[in-house]
Amino acid sequence: MIELDGVGRSFTVGRRRTRKTVHAVQDLSFTVRAGEFVGYLGPNGAGKSTTIKMITGILAPTSGRLRVAGLDPTRRRTSLARRIGVVFGQRTTLWWDLPLRDSFELVRHLYKVDQIDFRRRLSELTELLDLADFLATPVRQLSLGQRMRGDLTAALLHDPAVLVLDEPTIGLDVVSKAAMRDFLRRLNAERGTTVLLTTHDLGDIEKLCRRVMLIDHGSLAFDGTLDDLRATAPEEDSIEDVVARLYTGWSPALPAEG
Amino acid sequence: MVRTYLLLAWTWLRAAAQYRAQLAMMTLGSFAVNVLDVAAILVIFRHTESLAGFGLAEVMFLYGTAELAFATSDMLFGNVTRLSEQIRTGGFDTMLIRPASAFVQMAVDRFGVQRLGRVTQAVVVLAIALPQLDVPWSRAWMIPLMILCGIVIFTSIFTLGGALQFLLTDAPEVANAFTYGGSALTQYPLSVYGAELVRGVTFVVPLAFVNWQPALFVLDRDAPRGPPHWYSPPAPGAAPAAPPFAALAWRAGVRRYRSTGS
Amino acid sequence: MRIAGYGFRRHSVYRAAALAGAFTNTVFGILRAYVLIALWQARPGLAGYDVADAVTFCFLSQACIGPMQVFGGLGLSGRVRTGDVAIDLVRPASLQMWSLADDLGRAAYLFLLRSLPPVALGAALFGIVLPDAPATWLFFTVSFVLAVIVSFGWRYLVALSACWVIDDRGVQALSLVLTLFFSGMTLPLHLFPGWLGVLADALPWSAMVQVPADVYLGKRDAWEALGFQAAWAAALLLLGALATRAARRKVVIQGG
């Protein structure tokens, strides 16, 4: 479903004299097959968001080959958009001033979803995500948890084959997080939707992902199952420490060098 | 594309209909702000019978046609000039994720009928001015055509203004100089302005064809300077030239955005 | 004083936006100048101005757009809308004085970047009048500063009104109409006929643009003009102080 082959993305920053090239992503290669649920980890600035932007077609790679659902995101942006759903945790894809229900209507028109399918999907998702109480509320008045559920619904109304989530559980309380995780798990298990999830919350990874990828400084530092992940640092107790180890090679057991 | 625009616009209208009072107030507000321009013209003509060779009714005619074209264009496509804001909030990225043209999404975003206030004001001015001008039918047919061409030209300018913001995301106001400036410029007879400026808006930015050139035909007048009025029936020919240029600029802007990520 | 300096620096970050504003103001200055020239050619000596005076007035008024924020704008408005102003109101420092100092700093910055370019270009393209007496320059400077204060006083009231009015867009629109029309931005106030002209001369908005321009052109007795501006500045600031107190009460008692 998602194929990256030697993908790179550089930026030139700074003006005239201080101009330099930053390689946000270098020679990145991985394949996500249909039906997988993959977690995508990495410290801030590692290239996670850049990867997501390239996968969704917002940004074009500067090198390499990238295919999502068989399409090239750079060239077939609108066709691809019909097959994927995207949720950004840090900002909403909904329309701020309109009631939630109207946002869904706009999405329906944009994605050209059939009336009957739309109604069915919406009532399904309304029930699963418990939206009934605030369908008429303007998005700007929703709580974070409610808004995230709205964003999730908007991303799924057109029944996409792939769902990409960029830090969806950020800022959510424990109950909301659990509810979202449960929903995502069922979505993947029952509908077979391929899910790519970037997150800082390792609880998400533990509870949902069979496979984990870790990106650091623009390249893939790890790609395997959760067990494989733990095996990289068996002496660490928590998964956080395991991952921290992979990020920087830091270990609390060793004394500071120099 | 048209279908998408219409469907989205309809959804926005339905949503706005819930806030009827607010809508009415905003329509009235936009009507009031633009009445100032009319008031200014009236005050000017309190002191003189003619301005650069044109009388009150003629200036009102120029004003009305320019305003009608501008306000209609603004209502349908004006939001494109808010691109810079959209980019900064990340909203433009959201538009790129959707299976629709970014341009259509930008244009229809926050579609509302409050700008209808400005349109109405222009129509009122024209309704008052036209009877006083006594235009024969052999020339009056140009009027709807010139308004249509004006809409096309202003829409192109809006699009260019938007495209410019891909480059000048921190200084979106520059676009205003051309969009609102264009509107302000066309409210008065071009005989008011200096020769270089008139040349500029005839051959570079085709604002002269929004209302001036066609108006000279309608009013059966020669331009005090510049091309004679037989030049003007081809004038609506300038209008089709603008959109392809603007569209190219917009596409270039989107391409640049997607390849530099800024 | 320190806050003014801080305000200056804070707004100096938005250099590109300020320069864009300067560009737009210059373009509009040129357009308006032509219209005024056409009018003055039809009626030389109108309202005691000659063509050069009219052109100078035009570019001076364009220069006022940035510092006086003729098209509206006070950082405070945003804070009232989000409710953050509640924090400001319970602070011991006077919100009004603090905002004024910040606004003066902003005005100083915009004066440099947004006022000077249009005037310079106007002078280059059309030629403007320059006062010969040094005293005039001094009076003009004071008048300009007073104009900024008057405009602040008004904008402050408009911003605070949002504490009571649910949707401030209507108030902002009304303020825009009043300011544009009665400050002299649309047309020199001397052109207004009869009672409208008398009214315009008395209202505070004239103190924002028309009065300093007239002081510069020497069309008005400087002391009288400064007195007029100072009176309105004091009145608006007093109203602002009362409004602040009322707003503070509202926040503390109603928690709104």
Higher pLDDT, A160 or B139: A160
Q: What is the pLDDT of residue A45?
A: 78
Distance between first and last Cα of chain C: 31
Chain A: closest CA distance from residue B260 (Å): 7
Which positions in chain C touch B185 (Cβ < 8 Å)? 31
- Does B47 score more than 70 pLDDT? yes
User: Chain B contact for A81, CB < 8 A?
Assistant: yes
Which H or E run contains B212? helix B212-219
For residue C25, the chain B residue with the least C-alpha distance is B177
Q: Single out the residue of C76, C151, C138, C137 nearest to residue C107, CA to CA.
A: C151
User: Chain C contact for B184, CB < 8 A?
Assistant: yes
> 3-class DSSP state for residue C94?
coil
Query: Do B53 and B151 meet the contact criterion of CB atoms below 8 Å apart?
Result: no
> Beta-strand (E) ranges in chain A?
2-13, 20-32, 37-41, 63-68, 84-88, 162-166, 194-198, 211-216, 219-225
Tell me which of A15, A72, A77 to substitute to probe the interface with B (most B C-beta atoms closer than 10 Å): A77
Interface contact A60-B100, CB threshold 8 A: no
Domain presence at residue B76: yes
* Sign of the CA dihedral running A68, A70, A73, A76: negative
Residue B237: pLDDT band with limits 50, 70, 90:
low
Return the structure tokens found at A227: 């067990």
> Across chain A, what does the average pLDDT equal?
86
Domain presence at residue B262: no
Q: What is the pLDDT of residue B262?
A: 56
* Sign of the CA dihedral running B146, B151, B154, B159: negative
> 3-class DSSP state for residue A11?
strand
Which positions in chain B touch C181 (Cβ < 8 Å)? 36, 39
For residue B46, the chain C residue with the least C-alpha distance is C193
Arithmetic mean of pLDDT, A41-66: 88
Interface contact B4-A82, CB threshold 8 A: no
Chain B: closest CA distance from residue C147 (Å): 22
- Does C41 score more than 60 pLDDT? yes
Percent with pLDDT over 70 in chain A:
95
Count how many domains chain B has. 1
- Predicted confidence (pLDDT) per residue in B158-200, tens digit: 999 999 999 888 888 888 888 888 888 888 888 888 877 887 7
Which H or E run contains C106? helix C95-110
Query: Do A50 and A207 meet the contact criterion of CB atoms below 8 Å apart?
Result: no
Tell me which of A19, A93, A137, A162 to substitute to probe the interface with B (most B C-beta atoms closer than 10 Å): A93
- Predicted confidence (pLDDT) per residue in C183-229, tens digit: 988 889 989 988 888 999 999 999 999 999 999 988 888 899 999 99
Q: Which among B15, B100, B110 is the nearest to A78, CB-wise? A: B100
- Does B235 score more than 60 pLDDT? no
Q: What is the pLDDT of residue B93?
A: 92
- Does A256 score more than 50 pLDDT? no
For residue B171, the chain C residue with the least C-alpha distance is C17
Which positions in chain B touch A88 (Cβ < 8 Å)? 90, 94
Query: Do B85 and B164 meet the contact criterion of CB atoms below 8 Å apart?
Result: no
Residue A239: pLDDT band with limits 50, 70, 90:
confident
Interface contact C24-B176, CB threshold 8 A: yes
Residue A162: pLDDT band with limits 50, 70, 90:
very high
Chain C: closest CA distance from residue B137 (Å): 31
Distance between first and last Cα of chain A: 47
Chain A: closest CA distance from residue B109 (Å): 9
Q: What is the pLDDT of residue B234?
A: 54
CA distance B145 to B65: 11
Highest mean pLDDT among C128-132, C142-146, C159-163 belongs to C142-146
Interface contact B11-A109, CB threshold 8 A: yes
- Predicted confidence (pLDDT) per residue in C59-102, tens digit: 999 999 988 888 877 878 878 877 778 888 877 778 888 888 88
Tell me which of B18, B97, B105, B258 to substitute to probe the interface with A (most A C-beta atoms closer than 10 Å): B97
Arithmetic mean of pLDDT, B224-244: 64
Interface contact B100-A53, CB threshold 8 A: no
Query: Which residue shows structure tokens 């009004």?
Result: C96
Q: Which among B15, B97, B259 is the nearest to A81, CB-wise? A: B97
**Mind listing the domains of chain A with CATH numbers?**
34-55+82-246 (3.40.50.300)
User: Chain B contact for A77, CB < 8 A?
Assistant: yes
Residue A251: pLDDT band with limits 50, 70, 90:
very low
Q: Single out the residue of A219, B157, A220 nearest to residue A211, CA to CA.
A: A220
CB neighbourhood size of C131 (10 A): 15
Q: What share of chain C is helix, strand, coil (3-state, %, to 5)?
A: 80, 0, 20
Q: What is the pLDDT of residue B133?
A: 85
Q: Where are the domains of chain C?
A: 2-249
Q: What is the pLDDT of residue B224?
A: 62
- Does A253 score more than 50 pLDDT? no
Q: What is the pLDDT of residue A258?
A: 39
- Predicted confidence (pLDDT) per residue in B6-45, tens digit: 988 988 888 877 777 777 877 887 787 788 889 899 999 9
The residues in C 170-209 lying below 8 A from B, measured between CB atoms, are 170, 173-174, 176-177, 180-181, 186-187, 191-193
Which positions in chain B touch C22 (Cβ < 8 Å)? none
Return the structure tokens found at C212: 């300093």
Q: What is the pLDDT of residue C255?
A: 54
Arithmetic mean of pLDDT, C99-113: 89
Interface contact B96-A77, CB threshold 8 A: yes
CB neighbourhood size of C16 (10 A): 15
Tell me which of B185, B186, B187 to substitute to probe the interface with C (most C C-beta atoms closer than 10 Å): B185
Which positions in chain C touch B183 (Cβ < 8 Å)? none
Q: Which among C21, C34, C193 is the nearest to B173, CB-wise? A: C21
The residues in B 97-126 lying below 8 A from A, measured between CB atoms, are 97-101, 105, 110
Domain presence at residue B200: yes
Q: Single out the residue of B69, B70, B67 nearest to residue B81, CA to CA.
A: B70
Which positions in chain C touch B22 (Cβ < 8 Å)? 167
Which positions in chain A touch B90 (Cβ < 8 Å)? 88, 91
Interface contact A78-B89, CB threshold 8 A: no
**Domain residues for B143?**
2-256
Name the phi and psi angles at A253, rounded to 5. Answer: -75, -30
Query: Do A128 and A159 meet the contact criterion of CB atoms below 8 Å apart?
Result: no
- Does A196 score more than 90 pLDDT? yes
Domain presence at residue B261: no
Domain presence at residue B23: yes
Q: Which among B46, B171, B185 is the nearest to C19, CB-wise? A: B171
Touching chains, C (3+ CB pairs < 8 A): B
- What number of C-beta contacts closer than 8 Å exist between A and B? 64
Chain A: closest CA distance from residue B94 (Å): 6
Which H or E run contains C32? helix C15-42
Q: What is the pLDDT of residue A254?
A: 41
Domain presence at residue B47: yes
Q: What is the pLDDT of residue C73?
A: 77
Q: Which among A57, A59, A78 is the nearest to B261, CB-wise? A: A59
